[in-house]
Chain A
Amino acid sequence: MQTADIGRDEIVIEPGRTEKNYWADLWRYRELFLILAWRDIAVRYKQTIIGVAWAILRPFLTMVVFTAIFGRIAGLPTDGGAPYPLMVFAAMLPWSLFSTALGDASNSLIGNERLISKVYFPRLIIPIATVITAFVDFLISFVILLALMFFYRFPPGLNILLLPAFILQALLASLGPGLWITALNVKYRDFRYVIPFVVQFGLYVSPVGFSSAVIPGDWRLLYSLNPLVGVIDGFRWCILGAGSPLYWPGFVLSVAVVAFFLWLGVSRFRKMENTFADLI
């Protein structure tokens, strides 16, 4: 007598066994992605006064500060004819997405310690849910970008339709290292101190406050090893149009780096997953 639910084979629990059912399990628990993301967002603004307005204020103020520092004071040149704040903001969007997603994903397993030691579900859901949360923040900032473009009367070209591809690239760029680091973090807690430092460093190394056009030609390919270079250039190309041309070789390298880290992250995570409950 088999009901439809036990149509699949029995589950075997054994040391060192990689779950054949893992990906099927991920699909079965798909609602958990959104529920955990919703939980993090809902909790963030409880008992605050201005609540959701913080989600808008933070990126807005960062943009203002950046424009003041890099644009006016440092006097870095801008791409094409685009106004400087727009150029900065177009890069800040993917940068914030990346750094928030990476930072939150890296700490996600430790932060959900109780869940991991008391309930079963595919652990991959936890870091991915944090990336979804970062994506929601991104959407809010994107609305500000549109407002900014309206303010500067700078209409987007057709390139903007390709933006989702670059958004995906930014998400995957953060997911790869995020998965790896969060898995390592469970075992060796040092890594939680590594991430803020890397993010800080990355902010100045990535073309956020400046355009990657200022990098001398010979170095440009090497520079593109930083996966964010491709992402940010892509964002600028979509939003600002032809004035900010895409350096294609660099972009392809960027995609390759993102894919590599994603593969690395997922495989390392899966390998360590069985020991999380014991180490956390």
Chain B
Amino acid sequence: MGDVVIRAENLGKKYMIGHEAENGRYVALRDVLTHNARSIWHKTRDLLQRRPITPGANLEEVWALRDVNFEIRRGEVVGIIGRNGAGKSTLLKILSRITEPTEGRARIRGRVASLLEVGTGFHPELTGRENIFLNGAILGMRKVEISKKFDEIVAFAEVETFLDVPVKRFSSGMYMRLAFAVAAYLEPEILLVDEVLAVGDASFQKKCLGKMDRVARQEGRTVFFVSHNMAAVSSLCSKAIALQHGLVVFPLGDTTSAVQQYLSAAVDVAKTNLALRKDRYGEGKITIIDFGLYDRQGCRQDFVVSGQDVEFRLYYRCREKHRAQNIVAAISIHSLTSGFVTMLTNHAASEPFPSLGPEGFISCRVPRLPLGPGEYTVNVAIHQTDVQQDWVGEAATISVQEGDFFGTGRLPPAERRGIFLDQIWSTGSDRLVVDQREP
């Protein structure tokens, strides 16, 4: 295919995270003073020993990236997929020379441009025109180059009439379009892109994907593309790497296989016992200990069927054996392939539960489950009097099998399922009348 343009050898990046001490109940001024004195002593000692100053007494070593190896050849379009926190952005930052690796080495041949954020360097007080030159220069374009491409950039962004207006007056859509337009006309040999397509509306995303596709296919540049959007990755990238917790779980290879690996990894996390999960957020007075699917008879299920009468149960436990007051529960459902689907919550659909026992379950019944067949993960949360008590991401999976939702024995085509809506179809014989009034 071509010579190697990016080679990563055992790349690793370690961060030292400082945890501020738990906001203890400092009753006495003496406690506050001793805490502060100790903190100053620690910082001075760190300063003298030339260690970086981190806030808080507890230091934790976090490896954002470890043992990452790959070789990318000229002209390849490679996707990097992984959950949030997998290390994707860190990898891009290292390859862009913004941050230094802690171990390992990367070799790059060719002019690199990184798009880690749209609108880097945009200043709100400057006009659209001024920002095009500013942003272009920051991204590495020469002034001559920018002037030459100026009209194309403006046309792509569709901001002709706003060129001389300060950017702070732009709508967020215009801002995104302009920012992406400048970056789209960079002409590097190697392009590193970090989820910039996640922002913006659907038509903007489509436009950006189209441009990226042209850049990759027609202009033959090497592209390194980080995204959550599996559809985009699958269509643009011939190869992909999957990262999880900073490690490579799927080395550079076929995109479809990488995507499958990523999806099944998401399912694995969700299979961990909910009560044992440590990565939860909230005050902690109430803990969610289990999530289950139940049928109409109250029997626990491993999977459900589209159109089935389903009950979701959140089993909970209160820490202090008090009663739980004013409880709001939420279950957000996410498709592994297409993202967020919907959120079930008694805050919207019903009323908060005024008082619950110290242990028990909260039940949400969906009479005719409208989810299309596929795999879904759920995030669960409990709030007490508007204070979040517990939140767990990817708490469990819901496996939905094909079911006769419409009662007709038929379903939409396999790739076009999504959510099923009750629908009533009919016809009429009136002809269309087009309004002929003068404008």
Contacts and interface: CB of A to CB of B under 8 A. Distances in A.
Contact of A119 (B94, B116, B133): B116
Contacts of A12: 105-107
B137 A277 contact: no
A6 B110 contact: yes
A15 B137 CA distance: 28
A11 interface: yes
A150 interface: no
Interface in A2-45: 5-6, 10-16, 29, 31-32, 35, 39, 42-43
A15 B103 contact: yes
Contacts of B252: none
B99 A278 contact: yes
A12 B134 CA distance: 28
A200 interface: no
Contact of A118 (B15, B98, B126): B98
B123 interface: yes
A10 B121 CA distance: 28
A13 B95 contact: yes
B32 interface: no
Contact of A32 (B100, B111, B138): B138
Given A11-B107, A12-B107, A279 B114 contact: no
B123 A39 contact: yes
Interface stretch (B139-147, B199-207, B315-323, B408-416): B139-147
B361 to A, nearest CB: 45
Given A43-B126, A121-B140, A277-B93, A15 B116 contact: no
A47 B98 contact: no
Contact of A39 (B15, B99, B114, B126): B126
A121 B108 contact: no
A62 interface: no
B94 A114 contact: no
A48 B134 CA distance: 21
B125 A6 contact: no
A64 B98 CA distance: 47
B111 A120 contact: no
A165 B166 CA distance: 40
Given A114-B121, A118-B116, A119-B121, A13 B126 contact: no
B102 interface: yes
B130 interface: yes
A119 B120 contact: yes
A31 B138 contact: no
Contacts of B96: 119-120
B67 interface: no
B142 to A, nearest CB: 6
A187 interface: yes
Contact of B109 (A10, A15, A120, A121): A10
A13 B53 contact: no
Nearest to B136: A35
11 contacts: A6-B110, A13-B97, A13-B107, A14-B104, A14-B106, A42-B126, A43-B123, A114-B117, A118-B116, A119-B116, A275-B100
Interface of B: 15, 47, 52-53, 93-112, 114, 116-117, 120-121, 123, 125-126, 130, 133-134, 137-140, 142-143, 166, 189
| 7 closest A-B pairs by CB | A13-B106, A274-B100, A10-B109, A35-B137, A277-B99, A46-B125, A120-B97
Given A35-B137, A274-B100, 8 more contacts: A6-B110, A10-B109, A12-B106, A12-B107, A31-B142, A35-B138, A119-B96, A278-B15
